[in-house]
């Protein structure tokens, strides 16, 4: 509004500090949920290798026909 007093940080009631605290808590949760790659005193019985190219058996197939469509559902007199 014209002539309205500008809002200072103290007028907001500390929402900036609350937002920073919430962001910090969220970051701590993400760090706590990080993938565990090493557990002291335990060794895996099977090790998996990472493959760059997975063969599915479909590499040499030729696509003869392809069709796309949308599926609608009529429920309660509404599509």
Give the DSSP letter of residue 24.
H
Note the Cα 44 to chain centre separation in Å: 28
Taking the C-alpha atoms of residue 21 and residue 34, their distance in angstroms, rounded to an integer, is: 20
Query: Closest by alpha carbon to 79, among 9, 35, 62, 70?
Result: 70
Structure tokens at 20: 């920073």
| DSSP β-bridge partners for residue 17 | none
pLDDT of residue 19: 81
pLDDT of residue 32: 66
Residue with tokens 């970051």: 27
> What pTM was computed for the model?
0.23
pLDDT of residue 48: 87
pLDDT of residue 68: 94
pLDDT tens sequence for the chain (79 residues)? 555 555 555 545 556 778 888 888 887 777 767 777 788 888 888 888 888 888 888 888 999 999 999 999 999 999 8
């Amino acid at each position: 509004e014209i002539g309205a007093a500008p809002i200072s940080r103290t007028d907001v009631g500390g929402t900036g500090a609350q937002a920073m605290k919430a962001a910090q808590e969220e970051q701590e949760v993400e760090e706590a949920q990080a993938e565990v790659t090493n557990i002291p005193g335990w060794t895996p019985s099977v090790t998996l290798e990472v493959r760059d190219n997975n063969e599915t058996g479909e590499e040499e197939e030729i696509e003869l026909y392809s069709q796309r469509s949308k599926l609608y559902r009529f429920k309660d007199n509404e599509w």
